[in-house]
C-alpha cells in the first residue's frame, strides 16, 4: 500500500529535501507552504502531479491546519506520516543574533509558536485518523543546539528543546494506538535558506570539531527521517536522534 506523508514547510530547504527523498522511495507527498507558492508548485512538478500536491497553510493557525489535513486526506485518502519541519522567521546568523539581554519575550514566543504550537496543531488535527487506523508516525525536526549551543540561538533552541518533551508525551499516550513519535535533530545544515547567512568560519569550526570532519547536509537528515517513516522503525518511539557527524554524542 502506498503511504502518504505530509511535510510542513517543504517548498524549500530541508523540507524540500525530505519531500524529494520520500517521493523517491514511493511515498505520496503533501508539500505544505505558507508564502513560497511558486517553489512549492515547482517541487510538485518535479516530483509529479500524481504523486505530490501543494497546499498552503500557516501551521501556527489551527483553522488553516485543519484545512490542510482535510484537503490532504481527501486528495490521497489518508495521511500516514507527518513531518513537523516548518521554520518560522528565523535565520542562523551568528553576527546578527541578539544577545540574551536584548531579547524580548516576543522573540521567544514567535519561535515557541512556530515550533510547538505548529506541532500541536498538526498532530492534534491528524491524530483522530491515526487512532482510528491504529497506525501513524510523527517525526519532528529538532536541533543539536539543544545539547551543545555552539552559537546561543536562545529563542530557537529553547523552543526546540520543548519539542522533545512534546514528542515524548505524544509517544507515551498514542503508542497504544500504534502511533510512533520521534525527533530528528540535525546539526547546522550546509546549506539551507535559514543557514545561508551563517559565516564560513562557523561552518569550518563545526566541521573541524566533528569526528567525521564534515558539516551535516540536508540529505543526512532526510535519510534519518526516511528511516523513521518506514515500517522498519515501527518499534522505535519517543527518541531524539542526533544527526550531526558526531559533534554531540549521547
Q: Mind listing the pLDDT tens digit of every residue in the chain (250 residues)?
A: 899 999 999 999 999 999 999 999 999 999 999 999 999 999 999 999 999 999 999 999 999 999 999 999 999 999 999 999 998 888 877 788 999 999 999 999 999 999 999 999 999 999 999 999 999 999 999 999 888 888 889 999 999 999 999 999 999 999 999 999 999 998 777 666 655 556 677 777 777 878 888 888 899 999 999 999 999 999 999 999 999 888 888 7
E runs forming strands in the chain: 4-7, 28-33, 52-56, 81-84, 136-143, 179-186, 240-243
Q: How many CB atoms lie within 10 A of CB 137?
A: 26
Annotated catalytic, 153?
A: no
Q: Which of 27, 153, 156, 241 is catalytic?
A: 156
Q: Which residues share a beta bridge with 53?
A: 30
Instruction: Quote the pTM value.
Output: 0.94
Distances (CA, A) of 189 to 177, 193, 247: 34, 10, 13
Q: Which three cell numbers stand for residue 250?
A: 549521547
User: Per the structure block, which three cell numbers stand in for 138?
Assistant: 510523527
Q: How far apart are CA 76 and CA 248, in angstroms?
A: 39
> How far is it, in rounded angstroms, from Cα 161 to Cα 147?
9
What number of residues does the chain have? 250
Amino acid at each position: 500500500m502506498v503511504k502518504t506523508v505530509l511535510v510542513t514547510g517543504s517548498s524549500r530547504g530541508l523540507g524540500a529535501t525530505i519531500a524529494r527523498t520520500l517521493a523517491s522511495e514511493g511515498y505520496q507527498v503533501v508539500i505544505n507552504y505558507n508564502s513560497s507558492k511558486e517553489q512549492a508548485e515547482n517541487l510538485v512538478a518535479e516530483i509529479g502531479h500524481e504523486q505530490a500536491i501543494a497546499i498552503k497553510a500557516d501551521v501556527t493557525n489551527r483553522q488553516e491546519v485543519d484545512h490542510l489535513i482535510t484537503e490532504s486526506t481527501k486528495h490521497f485518502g489518508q495521511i500516514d506520516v507527518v513531518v513537523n519541519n516548518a521554520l518560522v522567521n528565523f535565520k542562523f546568523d551568528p553576527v546578527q543574533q541578539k544577545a540574551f539581554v536584548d531579547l524580548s519575550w516576543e522573540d521567544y514566543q514567535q519561535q515557541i509558536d512556530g515550533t510547538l504550537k505548529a506541532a500541536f496543531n498538526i498532530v492534534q488535527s491528524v491524530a483522530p485518523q491515526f487512532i482510528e487506523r491504529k497506525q501513524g508516525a510523527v517525526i519532528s525536526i529538532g536541533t543539536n543546539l539543544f545539547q551543545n549551543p555552539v552559537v546561543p540561538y536562545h529563542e530557537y533552541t529553547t523552543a526546540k528543546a520543548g519539542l522533545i518533551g512534546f514528542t515524548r508525551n505524544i509517544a507515551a499516550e498514542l503508542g497504544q494506538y500504534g502511533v510512533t513519535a520521534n525527533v530528528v535533530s540535525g546539526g547546522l545544515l550546509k546549506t539551507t535558506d535559514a543557514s545561508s547567512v551563517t559565516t564560513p568560519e562557523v561552518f569550518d569550526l563545526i566541521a573541524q570539531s566533528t569526528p567525521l570532519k564534515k558539516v551535516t547536509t540536508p540529505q543526512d537528515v532526510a535519510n534519518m527521517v526516511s528511516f523513521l517513516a518506514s515500517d522498519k522503525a515501527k518499534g522505535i518511539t519517543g527518541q531524539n536522534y542526533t544527526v550531526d557527524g558526531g559533534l554531540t554524542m549521547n
